[in-house]
Amino acid sequence: MKGFSIGSIFRDNCNTLVIVLGSTVFDLGKLLAASGADSLPSGFGLSEMLDDWATWFPRIKQAVELGESQGSGGIDAYRIADVSEVAWRAPILKPRKLICMGTNYAGHATEVSSDPLKAPYSFIKSSSNTLRGSGATITLLDIANMNDWEVELAVVIGKAARRVDVALAMDYVAGYSIINDVSARDWVASSPKFLGIDWVVGKSIDGYAPMGPTFTPAEFVADPQNLNLELTVNGKVMQRGNTSQMVFNIAEIIAHLSRIMTLEPGDIIASGTPEGTGFGHKPPVWLKDGDIVHCTIDGLGTLENKFVR
Ligand code: MG
């Protein structure tokens, strides 16, 4: 079947789950109901679906296939709008964990003068206050002056993973999205020597993890290790890379993290960023009032956000 992605939008002040086919947004709840599936419980989002993804994904596929086969009497009746016309929320609103990989592209490691990694390097970003949807305006932290961008492939976990082997690790991926791992670099580097980097202040600021526009199921991403990533600021290309350049690939990251902690459905792993961050430019370039950032990954769409003071 043709691929689709799943997202969340604001509609009539409510969260509405949608699917995107081509450039058109359809009401997922109504599509499921029309296919005979149980109606979605109130407040049900992608997070809840991912808790039972093995049940929900086939159900959604079936509903889409049925709706498409019925044409104007089917899926067309549930059209909401064009993708450019809706107010996106982050596709996953309540992940249990948001884990970020540091310097997982050699070019970025070089530009921040980091030693090559001997093992995957990770940190936790607060998952309850940082996520925003595509189109959201993000307020830069008033006490930070070195605010930086990082386009990353977001890997979304689809079933509990504990001590999984590299060879089986991709079975635990439900799908992918785009995330901008925004940083306040002046706070990342501001700590005493013994304590090291303050990842909390540098990374967990409100709105500093815009994500989306949607979530694309893994089945529709032919090779997640061969996707071009690009980030522009006000139309100027700042970052360009390919997921083939990851130091530790997705399977290796999942195997590593799942040895430390149980990865749970809906957990998001931001898999690292290629070179071209603001910090890496000479002289450095930081986000400023009014900047518009576009993050694009092959097949996953474009995440757009405006940053303001
Ligand atoms: Mg990052």
CA of 108 to the centre of ligand 1 (A): 10
Residuewise pLDDT in 10s, the chain (309 residues): 789 999 999 988 888 999 999 999 999 999 999 988 777 888 889 999 999 999 999 999 999 999 989 877 788 999 999 999 999 999 999 899 999 999 999 998 889 888 889 999 999 999 999 999 999 999 999 999 999 999 999 999 999 999 999 999 999 999 999 999 999 999 887 667 788 888 898 999 999 999 999 999 999 999 999 999 999 999 999 999 999 999 999 999 999 999 999 999 999 999 999 999 999 999 999 999 999 999 999 999 999 999 999
Alpha carbon of 165 to ligand 1 centroid (Å): 24
**Centre of ligand 1 from the C-alpha of residue 136, in Å:** 20
Contacts (Cβ under 8 Å, ≥6 apart) of 23: 82, 83, 84
Residue pair 97/124 in contact by the 8 Å Cβ criterion: yes
pLDDT of residue 113: 84
How far is the centre of ligand 1, averaged over its atoms, from the C-alpha of 66 (Å)? 40
Please tell me the distance between residue 234's alpha carbon and the centre of ligand 1 in angstroms: 21
The pLDDT of residue 94: 86
Query: How far, in Å, from the CA of 38 to the mean position of ligand 1?
Result: 39
CA distance 215 to 174: 9
Q: Cα(232)–Cα(270) distance, rounded to whole angstroms?
A: 19
Report the separation in Å between the CA atom of 32 and the middle of ligand 1, taken as the mean of its atom positions: 36
Closest to 263 measured CA to CA, from 178, 156, 167, 130: 156
Residue 64 Cα to ligand 1 midpoint, Å, equals 34
**Nearest Cα to Cα of residue 233 among 177, 188, 288:** 288
CA of 30 to the centre of ligand 1 (A): 37
pLDDT of residue 63: 94
| pLDDT at residue 42 in the model | 81
Ligand 1 geometric centre to CA of 309 (Å): 22
Determine the distance separating the centroid of ligand 1 and the alpha carbon of 150, expressed in angstroms.
6
Q: How far is the CA of 101 from the centre of ligand 1 (A)?
A: 6
CA–centroid distance, 166 to ligand 1, in Å, is 22
Beta bridge partner(s), residue 132: 210
Q: Tell me how far the alpha carbon of residue 152 lies from the centroid of ligand 1, in angstroms.
A: 7
- Three-state SS sequence of the chain: CCCCEEEEEEECCEEEEEEEECCEEEEHHHHHHHCCCCCCCCCCCHHHHHCCHHHHHHHHHHHHHHHHHCHHHCHHHHEEEEHHHCEEECCCCCCCCEEEEECCEHHHHHHCCCCCCCCCEEEECCCCCCEECCCCEEECCCCCCCEECCEEEEEEECCCECCCCHHHHHHHEEEEEEEECCEEHHHHCCCCCCCCCCHHHHHCCCCCEEECCCEEEHHHCCCCCCCEEEEEECCEEEEEEEHHHECCCHHHHHHHHHHHCCECCCCEEECCCCCCCHHHCCCCCCCCCCCEEEEEECCCEEEEEEEEC
Distance 78 CA to ligand 1 centre (A): 37
Alpha-carbon gap, residue 27 to 252, rounded angstroms: 36
- Ligand 1 centroid–CA 42 distance in Å is 34
Give the distance (Å) from ligand 1 centre to CA of residue 48.
26
Specify which residues 210 forms β-bridges with.
Answer: 132
